[in-house]
Structures are given as structure tokens and as C-alpha cells.
Chain A
Amino acid sequence: MSDIASPAPMRRLQLDPVTIFGLAVLAVLVATAVLAPWISPYGPTDINPAARLQPPSGEHWLGTDRIGRDVLTRALHGGRISLTVGFLVGIAVLCVGVVLGLLAGSVRWLDGLIMRVIDGIMAMPAVLVGVAMVVMWGGGLWALLIAIGIPSLPDTVRLTRSLALSIRTEPYVEAARMGGTRLPMLLWRHFIPNALAPLIVIGTYVGANAIVAESLLSFLGVGMPPEMPSWGNMIAEGRLAFQIAPWGVFVPALFLTATVLAVNLVGDGLRDSTDPLRLKSD
């Protein structure tokens, strides 16, 4: 149904400078992460014992770590992992959460069931659940995605449910019901398009949190394998030589902050520009 995906008001997206800045930062981060192997003359796992803990120089722009790996190269490669995790978790949580939330908000007997499970998830501390799951499944990207994704489900489910509850009483939904539209089509044509704007925003928020969560789990040693250049791993390792070579911590931390900030700025910008109050005024 291509006709649904074309809500006219969205076409006239007007982005403010801050959002454009966020998009630009994000674009640079994505581009450098994708092009990392071609940008940098070093490999992310190339060890050079002769050049250990070197400060930033013409040869190593942002210095080297304890075993002589180029910090910038590793940080760029780390972006691949972080951005992948953020993107995949954002999409996955959005898909699962929206389906659960819509069902909870529109089918009465499912509501209690779904929401109690969600309450259960909320009651568990996210980091501990993550650690437990990764330990149970023995690490790797997929285990990490699930470990990060499940604790961030509740926000999306609850938001979608509350949107569904208010959309359900809209006269246009009642008119469609009277016209014989059944639940799946009702959700697809009427609920989702009208809930889209806040959902995109929460998707960016989930993505940003996932990036932080991945770094946190890696830092704790249960994320990506230690030799992989993830930002969390780099911070964990750089910590050991922090007094001598602070760039080992600062560089990945800076990349992490920039990414999360950019994603959040873009999310806020999208929220503002799809605000129905703004749309109505023209």
C-alpha cells in the first residue's frame, strides 16, 4: 500500500539548523565508519610494539594504545559496530514494540497480558539482564542485540499503546470500522500513519540508548570480544593507561558522545517538524 506512506504534511519537512547540524555530524560518522579501511593506512588490529602509547603525531593523528594500535583507526572501526548496533536495535525494537503496543491498545484481552509482561521487563535492571543474557549465550553481535533490545522494549510498547488508545476513539477510526475495515487494516491504514511521528522520535531515542548500552556492556567485558575495536572495549582498555595516554579514553568517548548527541538532535528535530500544531498553522 504505497498510498499510505505519503502523508502530505510530512513532505514539507522544515528542518532547523540544529537538526541539520545533527544530520551532518551523523553523516560524517557513518561515512568515516563505512570508509574506515580506505581512510586509514593502519588496520584496527595491527600491533606495533615499537610505537606504544604514543601521543598524537603526524604519523598517528590521535596517538596509539598500549600495544601500539592506531587509536583513530580503531575509533573509526568502532563506529561500524556502534552504529550497526544502534540502527539494528532501533529498527528491531520499533517493529516489535509497535506491534505489541498496537495490539495492547486495540485488543482488550491482549492488553492485560502484554502490559504485565512489559511491567516484568521494566522491573528488571537493564544492565544486569544484559550481562546475564550475554553470559548465557556466549557473546557475539546477535546476543548483544537481544540483550540491549529487550530492556528498551517497554518505552516503545507503552508509548505505542497510549497512542493507540487515543487514536482508537477518533471518529475517523470509528468511520472506518463502520465501513467494514477489519483490525489489521485499521491498524495499518489509520493507527500507524497517525502514530508515526512520535514513533520515529522514540526510535532515534532507542537507537541512541542502544549505542550507549553497547559501549557499557563492552566496557564491562561482556560485549564484543575484547580484540574487536568497539568504543566500549577501547575505553575499557584505555583506562589501564589513562594517566600516560588519556587519548586512549578520550577519543572513543568523544566519538560516542558525538554520535549519541547527533542522533538525539535529529530525533528532536524530527519531532518538532512533524508537530501537528505546526502543520496546522499553514
Chain B
Amino acid sequence: MNQTKEPAVLDIAGLQIDLPIGADRPHAVANLDLRIRRGEMVCLVGESGSGKSLTAMATMGLLPRVLQRGVRGTISLAGRDLLKVTPQQRRQIVGREVSMIFQEPMTALHPVVNVGAQIEEVLKIHRPKLGAGERREQVLAALQAVQLPSPEQISRAYPHELSGGQRQRVMIAMALILDPMLLIADEPTTALDVTTQAEILRLIKDLQVRRGTGVLFITHDIGVVRDIADHVVVMQHGQVVEQGSAEAVLGNPRQDYTRALINAIPELGSVRPEPKDLGPVLVRMTDLRKSFTRRKGLFRQERFDAVGGVDLTLRRGEVLSVVGESGSGKSTLARCLAGLTVPSGGQIVVGSDVSQAAGSRRQRQRVQMVFQDPNRSLNPRRKVGESIIEGPMNFGASRKEATARAAELMELVGLRPDSLDRFPYQFSGGQRQRICIARALALQPEVLIADEAVSALDATVQQQVVRLLDDIRRRLDLSILFITHDLRVAAQISDTIVVMQRGRIAESGSVAAVLGSPQSDYTKRLLAAVPGQKHSFTEIEAND
């Protein structure tokens, strides 16, 4: 860390944001000090609800109206206190000197305007003197700077025509075209695949170092922090628990909370012990296919294989992870097994019963699923107890039996049995996921599918739920099909890993084999992209 006398780009001192009366705590953010120098990358880490996004919003002046009145302290941008100037002045300063990129680039871009015009609009507002030709040139240069191939073509494209990574690059181009002093990035890679995430992180790091932009990078992923941060600020319940240089905080954390956050990130190396003897084959998929037809143009249709000929076996008591990037067909595979999607071809046999049409009521009972989004996987208008007993009652259990069983299951998943009478909104995301596990177990399945079941959870909660799944597997001798994009989580829980790419299996084998000595290039690329290994960015820093 170079401690020069240069004024900080952003200097937040004693920031406090009050929450409305009746919230679970008095302040969303309390007594926050944070300083970003030129060309410095400050990572703000914390779990959801820790106040990290609100800090960014307060800086941008984008707080919801209810919170705006309760902001105290100073937020100075290059020496000017943004909380003291008029709203008009603030808009001007922030518009010119601060840019922000968001988690979901699809919703942050205007869907019916081509991206070139969207970037140009920024120039029109903030550099009104530029001529049309100059503007055009700058837009193309910006697209070039974010390493998009053929900027001409990209500038004419609409957001839906680009991939997630390309859209995020466009957002970055838009954010940097005015050469702002400060870039705020709020979980900019959370919605992206690992390989794309690695590229975007490298790009942001590169721009930070070369242009000297100060970056406030908000994330919940310690792995990402390890890759890019100069300075780390750890937040919990609206307060800074620990801050310091990246090496100090990550290498030698002083607070328990920081240690918990760091330990919650499974390391790729921490492969679980070689599998115990697995039971007989429980699920056998042969040449499973699922194709969809996409409309292309007015009359043409295009078939595309989401799953194109997959053979897979799952043994009793085995945890099999299917990993791959989005669009690799892993979720479609899971939905075929769950009976939620009818396969276009091939066979799925569960146990010894050969049924081509997966999804008979009988089979459904044997295969249950836990879904990704804890906010949507429980009916918001039904008590959670009702959701848990619904399945067993469909299959003939009496209400009394089913309720008694539901209470046992609640205990099994680590929740109080008396909370069966509550509604989903009274639970946290992790608790809801536990309830979903209880609901799935209520039907006494033999196979449990977890479709990105921990992806939406904070790292520490994620770890708890993964442990719970593993514990349940052992106790009930379940087989688990674990669908994830996160190799680190897969390494932690599985016996076997199947890597999927474009609807086919690229590689499969035991965890140690696949992660230890990957054979296919695709697996190698996925592994290299896993954040937290601190290898891919060293050359950039050396250039500085």
C-alpha cells in the first residue's frame, strides 16, 4: 500500500443510514468509514443484509426515499461532501465522476435500444459539445477497450443478442466512457458463469490499474476478493467488523466473523475422503435427449438440443454433482429426471421399474427436488406446514400422520417443529431452503435433486445447507443429484462429478479424478476460472 498524500477519491466518514421504525435493527449502516484512493480496488464484503449495497446506493444518491432522510455523516468525492450539495449539483457531480455497474446487465440495459446508442447517450448528456462523428469514435473506442470483438457490430446489437458476459462488458464500457474517478461495481459477476466471471474480473482489474480509477467492488464471494482486492472492508449487520489491506485481512483475519466468511468458502483442494462403498445403481439414464424448437425469424424454426444423448448412473447413497456453465443442459437433465420435462428421447430408469415416460405419479414420489430460489419455492399464501404435508396427503396419509411427520422433519432440518404454522415470509432464505428440503423428504424419496439449491444463499448459510444435505444423505441413505455451477461446492459434497458442456458430458469421474487431474480442456478451463486462486491476475499487476 502506497500511503501518499493524494486526496482520496472517495472518503466516507461516520456514515449512518437509519432504518424506519419497526425494522429489525435501528441502522442499516452505522458508523462506516471507508476511503478509496486513486487506482485502488476496495472490496466491500458481507452477507446479504449487511448494508453493503445501501452504502453504494447512498454514494450514488439512489437510496429509496424512506431511507433518504436518515442519512448522516459525510460522503466526500474528491473533497466535496455529496451530502451537503443540492440534489442538482449532486446529480451532475455523480453523473460525471462516478459510474456504477450492476449484478444483472440484462435489466440494467435498455432492451429496445441498441447498445451503441445507449453508450452514446451518456456522452450526449455529459459531453454536449462533442460532434456526432467524435461521439461515434469514442463509443467504438470504449467497446474496444473492454475487449469486445468487432465493436462496429456490437454497437448495433440489442442487449438480448449478446451473451451475459458481453452485456456486462457493454455496461463497463458505458461506465468508463466518461473516465470517472470512481467505479462502483455491485456484485457485477454474480450472475455470470465462472469462466466469464474470471474474464470480467480481469477486465475490471486491468482498467483500474491502467486508468487509475478507484473501484468500490461489492461482493459476497471471498474468492473474488482474494483475486482482485487491494483493500478489504468486511461488513456485518451494517457495521464494519474489520478492514485493512487484502493480505492482512485475508491472510491474518482478526475477527471471528471474517474467519467464518473465509472458512465458508470451500477450497477446491478440500476434496472429501474417497467414497465409501456405494449401493446398487438406483437411477440409470440411457441416451437421454431433450430438444427444444426455437423460432428463428418469422417462419424458420430451429431445433436445439438442450440435452443431447446423456448416459448417467446414480447409485444408492451417492452424491453426484452435475457442473457446467449456464446453457450446458444440467438443469434440463435434472428436470427430466424430476418428471417436470418430458424427454424427447432415451430412457430413465429409477430402481428396477422401466418407464419410458418419466413422471408417473409413482416415480415422482421417489424423486424429489429442491429448487434454487428460496423466495419462490414455497407458496407465499400457505403455511409452511401445509406445504410439507401436501405431498404425503396426496398419497393417502391422514392429516394427523402427515403433520406429525412434518414436525419430525422440521427437527431433522434444524428448525423448530412449532414453526409449521408460520408463513414463508417469516423465514430467512436459508431457513426456507431447509423447509424445502423437509418438503422433499416428506415423500420419503430415494433420490433428491438439488437444482442450484444453495446458489442463492450466502457463503456461511450455503455451507450449513450443504452440511445438512450431506448429513441427511447419510442418515436416510439417499442419492443426491446436485446441480451446480460452483465447482467449489461440488468438490465439497460429491462423490462423483459430471461436467456438462452444450448438452453432453464432457467428463465424469470421482471428485479426486476430475478435479485433481482433469482430462478435457473444458474442465481445465472451468477449474482455472474458479476465483480465489490468485494466479491469473499477477501479470497485470506486474505491468503497472
Chain A residues packing against B (C-beta within 8 Å): 3-4, 7-9, 170-172, 174-182, 185, 189-190, 193-194, 196, 276, 279-280, 282
Contacts and interface: CB of A to CB of B under 8 A. Distances in A.
A282 B20 CA distance: 10
Contact of A3 (B22, B386, B391, B394): B386
B101 interface: no
Contact of A280 (B373, B377, B425): B425
B425 A174 contact: no
Given A171-B377, A172-B378, A179 B386 contact: no
B292 interface: no
Contacts, number: 87
Given A4-B382, A178-B367, A194-B379, 18 more contacts: A7-B381, A9-B380, A171-B371, A171-B372, A171-B373, A174-B371, A175-B377, A175-B436, A178-B340, A178-B364, A178-B369, A180-B361, A180-B364, A181-B394, A194-B381, A276-B380, A279-B425, A282-B22
A172 B436 CA distance: 9
Given A7-B381, A171-B376, A194-B381, A178 B387 contact: no
Given A175-B436, A179-B439, A189 B382 contact: yes
A174 B394 contact: no
Nearest to B385: A3
B425 A178 contact: no
Interface string B105-117: 0000000000000
B379 A174 contact: no
B118 interface: no
A58 B339 CA distance: 76
Interface residues of B, number: 34
Contacts of B80: none
Nearest to A185: B394
Contacts of B189: none
Which of B367, B371, B379, B387 has the most A CB atoms < 10 Å from its CB?
B379
Nearest to A3: B386
Given A175-B371, A180-B391, A181-B390, A193 B381 contact: yes
B371 to A, nearest CB: 4
Minimum-distance CB pairs A-B, first 6: A179-B391, A171-B371, A7-B381, A193-B381, A180-B394, A171-B377
B365 interface: yes
Contacts of A189: 379, 382, 390
B216 to A, nearest CB: 26
A175 B423 contact: no
B469 interface: no
Contacts of B443: 179-180
Interface string B430-463: 0000001001101100000000000000000000
18 contacts: A3-B382, A3-B386, A7-B423, A171-B372, A172-B376, A174-B340, A175-B371, A175-B387, A175-B439, A176-B391, A178-B338, A178-B340, A178-B369, A180-B365, A180-B394, A181-B390, A193-B382, A194-B381
B377 A172 contact: yes
B383 interface: yes
A178 B394 CA distance: 11
A178 B372 CA distance: 15
B368 interface: yes
B304 interface: no
Contacts of B395: 180
Nearest to B426: A8
Which of A3, A171, A177, A280 has the most B CB atoms < 10 Å from its CB?
A171
A193 B361 CA distance: 25
Interface in B274-289: none
Contacts of A172: 376-379, 387
A152 to B, nearest CB: 27
Interface string B306-339: 0000000000000000000000000000000011
Given A175-B439, A178-B369, A180-B364, A9 B423 contact: yes
A181 B367 CA distance: 15
Contacts of A194: 379-381
A118 B438 CA distance: 43
A182 B440 CA distance: 17
A189 B338 CA distance: 21
